[in-house]
Amino acid sequence: MRLKIAADIAGAVAYLHSASSVPIYHRDIKSRNILLDEKYVVKVSDFGTSRSVATDQTHLTTVKRSDVYSFGVVLVELLTGQRPISLDKTEEERGLATRFLACMEEECMDTILDPQVREQGRKEEVILVAKLAQRCLHSKGRMRPTMKEVATELESFRISEMSSSVNVESEDVRSFGDMPAMISDTEYTWTNSYKSAFTSSSDTHPLVLYESVS
């Protein structure tokens, strides 16, 4: 289910970047702005800081890669079940992305993975997703993949997962914040046909795993 959620988020953002008539860059991709309904359908919300870019290619690329980095953080949250910022840690260890990249470099990824991911996920698949997150978090924007590439890779992982007939428990994945979801007037819903670009919903909740992960 976490893989499905990740693939759907990536697909939604990739659509905004590449498939819409005018490229749209969200600029505030984070778990609080990823909403799920009762069927785990993903909605990307809060377009208050988004912008359309259709002129300067350098600026376009910079903004696009910024969304990729932010998605990388969300992907790491799905892998680890941890907050993006942990105030109970030392200053240099507070950032989840920094800790994750350090674990990848030191080849100790198991120490940071959510126990559920570590125990129930296929090792090969988890490694592939972790390496993709690592690429999304590259310090140099030009070295990060595009959201279209990210979406394609995650969808291929998902298809591989489905074909392997591995059952993933979903009940522990979705967790809701304590406050009601604040939904902007315009939201994006990813569908296989790519046609239902913007919808509204009153029964959605933010994707915040760590509030229920011990």
Whether the per-residue pLDDT at 172 is higher than 70: the answer is: no
pLDDT tier at 197, thresholds 50, 70, 90: very low
Q: Could you read off the pLDDT of 5-64 as tens digits, one per residue? A: 999 999 999 988 886 677 788 888 999 889 888 888 888 887 655 555 554 554 555 667
Looking at 3.10.150.10, 1.10.510.10, 3.40.50.620, 1.20.1080.10, the CATH number of the domain 2-211 comes to: 1.10.510.10
Residue 74, number of CB atoms within 10 A of its CB: 24
Asked about 110 being catalytic, the answer comes back as no
pTM, to two decimals: 0.75
**What pLDDT, on a 0 to 100 scale, did the predictor assign at position 118?**
93
| Residues 6+ positions from 85 with CB-CB distance below 8 Å | 94, 95, 96
| Choice between 155 and 43, residue whose per-residue pLDDT is larger | 155
pLDDT of residue 195: 36
**What confidence category does residue 189 fall into, taking pLDDT thresholds of 50, 70 and 90?**
very low
* pLDDT recorded at residue 204: 66
Q: Please check the confidence at residue 102 and state whether its pLDDT lies above 60.
A: yes
Q: Which of 8, 28, 88, 178 is catalytic?
A: 28
Percent above pLDDT 90 for the chain? 43
For 98-110, what is the mean pLDDT?
95
Q: What is the pLDDT of residue 183?
A: 28
Per-residue confidence at 211, pLDDT binned at 50, 70, 90? Answer: low
Q: Mean pLDDT check: name the lowest of 66-80, 111-125, 129-143, 157-171.
A: 157-171
Span 105-131, average pLDDT: 94
Average of per-residue pLDDT across 186-193: 38
Tokens 């997703």 sit on residue: 129
On the question of pLDDT at 74 being above 60, the answer is yes
The span from the CA of 116 to the CA of 60, in Å, is 38
pLDDT at 162: 81
> In which band, very low, low, confident or very high, does the pLDDT at 79 lie, cut at 50, 70 and 90?
very high
**Three-state SS string across the chain, please?**
CHHHHHHHHHHHHHHHHHHCCCCEECCCCCHHHEEECCCCCEEECCCCCCEECCCCHHHHHHHHHHHHHHHHHHHHHHHHCCCCECCCCCHHHCEHHHHHHHHHHCCCHHHCCCHHHHHHCCHHHHHHHHHHHHHHCCCCHHHCCCHHHHHHHHHHHHHHHHHCCCCCCCCCCCCCCCCCCCCCCCEEECCCCCCCCEECCCCCEECCHHHCCC
